Structure 1
Amino acid sequence: MRRIRHCFIGVALTFAMLLAGPLLLAACAGFQDSGSWRTADRTSAGLAPTPEQEQGAVVQVYGARAYNWRGYFSLHTWISTKEAGANNYYVHQVTGWRHYVIQSRPDDPDRNWYGAKPELIADFRGQQAQRIIGQLGAVINDYPYPTTYEAWPGPNSNTFVAWVIRQIPEMDVALPSNAIGKDYLGNGLISEVPGGAGYQLSLGGYFGVLAGVREGLELNILGLSLGINPLALGIKLPGIGELALRNTNPMPEPVAPKTGGAGTVSQKTL
């Protein structure tokens, strides 16, 4: 009887720990409007350089809180690209409201996701970005779930972005710990982490463990992750995500403008 009581207490404490973050976000009330998705903000957040500001190739990974109550638990992620010399961006993402779930089309790279402001997760420039773009089309065509979408535990938008990143060696990106679906491996059990240096074990996206240089250590319980990231000096909390002092992903470094220039700051890839 005592053993059963201890098990019950352990399960209750585990669920309380997993739900503490989402409940805190719900109590703090919001990152997005509670109105209709039809009128929610989808304008550009102004995070990406315009084609006039950046003539070279650009590859960016974005994430924003999912719409409505789902945002208390998870993010929606996507990839934006611009080829060298191009005058527009393409956005590559998965959504759940079409039979064919993949979208790759011209669009603003950094739109608000139905009221939620996006966060720039990773940013590649120059020749490295151009090489990534050169592989992207074939990789997207090989995505194994082109007509399947499950918000939990996957495959979903985060599954798509994580899968694409894993297929392109130069695109090592640690996705946020609260991007539910990134750990969904289908029928697989073990895979390299999206960050490139490390491995993960996942049981259908419901349970798993991950260890990587960029990601740190993560424990996945029912799709909600917690852990630590020594390299980023951060902790990972369910729903809230990673609270860190450093970003371990590739990001451009501002370079001082030349004297007498137009004032635009040039950038280089780390």
Structure 2
Amino acid sequence: MTHRRILRRVLILLALLVTLPLLASGVSVATQEHPHWSASRWDSTGLAPDPAITPDAVVQVYAARLWGWRGVFAVHTWIVAKPAGARQYTRYEVVGWGRPALRVSNRIPDGYWAGNPPALLRDIRGPAAAALIPRIAAAAAGYADREDYITWPGPNSNSFTAHVARELPELGLQLPPTAIGKDWLGTGRLLAPAPSGTGWQVSLFGLAGVTVAMREGLELNLLGLTIGIDILHPAVKLPGLGRLGLPLAPGETTG
């Protein structure tokens, strides 16, 4: 078999791995009801512990599908933190309306995102969470793209969450393959730790790159879309559909 034929087959395989999952995701999104975002649910899902009865420090990370057609491709991610004894959460996220794009607020920590329920990615409590909270605030304050939001390829909400994760490898965060923008490293950086802190990634402006890490496994970034395989917790990662395989628990940590 000639090198040209091998290359052709690889390209065809990659095209199928991108288009077929996106078509399946598109059908799934199209068959759901989508009221206007202003009429959609934004209330609590009950995933965050009630601060009135939870004295311990809490750090959680969430991801929810975007509203409308963008939900075919991507999720929005955010981080919430509650110090020990606090009666409310602080929510850290980047949004696409208004400036600055980075918002630090007391919004509902675990709310629906334009009608889409969030998934809990990380759940850390007690002393481990207490140690992370001031560092999360410092990482947010040092985020270079705090004024900017670019849906694709970044910087966007997922670029911010990935930035915080890289600054705090103890967070142990593995972002979903649908977190488009997580591979944005900035305009002057090609190499960085993987968001989980267990490996490395090379990325060209978030448009093309490779991640090799213990938690993420092997990920190939094509135009912001992720194709990959997780060996530690067997699964494949596909555009639109996300992770297919053994589920990842949010891993509540209390120490």
- Do they superpose with TM above 0.5? yes
Aligned counterparts of 1:84 and 1:239: Cα–Cα separation in 2: 37
Residue aligning to 1:89: 89
Structure 2 residue 243 is matched with structure 1 residue 269: no
Aligned counterparts of 1:73 and 1:201: Cα–Cα separation in 2: 22
Distance change (3 Å), C-alpha of 1:110 and 1:30: farther
Aligned counterparts of 1:52 and 1:214: Cα–Cα separation in 2: 34
Task: Give 1:6 deviation, angstroms.
Answer: 8.7
Residue aligning to 1:223: 224
Residue aligning to 2:110: 110
Residue aligning to 2:70: 70
Helix, strand or coil: the match of 2:105? strand
Contact map agreement 1:217 1:227 (CA 8 A) in 2? yes
Contact map agreement 1:173 1:250 (CA 8 A) in 2? no
Helix, strand or coil: the match of 1:269? coil
Helix, strand or coil: the match of 2:171? coil
Residue aligning to 1:48: 48
Higher relative contact order (CA 8 A, sep 6+): 2
Distance change (3 Å), C-alpha of 1:269 and 1:31: farther
Helix, strand or coil: the match of 1:49? coil
Deviations, residues 148-203 of structure 1 (Å, cap 9, x unaligned): 11111100000000001111242221111110000011121111011111001101
Task: Give 1:83 deviation, angstroms.
Answer: 0.8
Task: Give 1:78 deviation, angstroms.
Answer: 0.2
Residue aligning to 1:183: 183
Identity %: 41
Relative to the length of structure 2, the TM-score reads 0.92
Task: Give 1:10 deviation, angstroms.
Answer: 6.0
Task: Give 1:237 deviation, angstroms.
Answer: 1.0
Task: Give 1:53 deviation, angstroms.
Answer: 3.4
Contact map agreement 1:81 1:91 (CA 8 A) in 2? yes
One-letter identity of the residue aligned with 1:110: D
CA RMSD in angstroms comes to 2.2
Structure 1: gaps spanning 5 or more residues: 253-267
Contact map agreement 2:169 2:195 (CA 8 A) in 1? no
Residue aligning to 2:156: 156
Aligned counterparts of 2:168 and 2:8: Cα–Cα separation in 1: 44
Task: Give 1:13 deviation, angstroms.
Answer: 5.1
Task: Give 1:35 deviation, angstroms.
Answer: 2.2
Aligned counterparts of 1:211 and 1:9: Cα–Cα separation in 2: 24
Helix, strand or coil: the match of 2:100? coil
Identify which range, 5-14 or 141-150, moves more after superposition.
5-14
Contact map agreement 2:120 2:250 (CA 8 A) in 1? no
Q: How many residues align?
A: 253
Helix, strand or coil: the match of 1:38? helix
Helix, strand or coil: the match of 2:14? helix
Q: Which has the larger radius of gyration?
A: 1
Aligned counterparts of 1:51 and 1:99: Cα–Cα separation in 2: 30
Deviations, residues 201-238 of structure 1 (Å, cap 9, x unaligned): 10111111111111111111111111111111111111
Relative to the length of structure 1, the TM-score reads 0.87
Structure 2 residue 24 is matched with structure 1 residue 39: no
Residue aligning to 1:195: 196
Residue aligning to 1:258: none
Contact map agreement 1:33 1:40 (CA 8 A) in 2? no
Structure 2 residue 45 is matched with structure 1 residue 60: no
Contact map agreement 2:17 2:238 (CA 8 A) in 1? no
One-letter identity of the residue aligned with 2:123: D
One-letter identity of the residue aligned with 1:97: W
Distance change (3 Å), C-alpha of 1:108 and 1:214: same
Aligned counterparts of 1:31 and 1:49: Cα–Cα separation in 2: 32
Task: Give 1:108 deviation, angstroms.
Answer: 1.5
Aligned counterparts of 1:35 and 1:44: Cα–Cα separation in 2: 18
One-letter identity of the residue aligned with 1:203: L
Aligned counterparts of 1:90 and 1:239: Cα–Cα separation in 2: 30
Aligned counterparts of 2:32 and 2:83: Cα–Cα separation in 1: 32
Identify which range, 3-12 or 160-169, moves more after superposition.
3-12
Structure 2: gaps spanning 5 or more residues: none
One-letter identity of the residue aligned with 1:241: G
Task: Give 1:146 deviation, angstroms.
Answer: 1.3
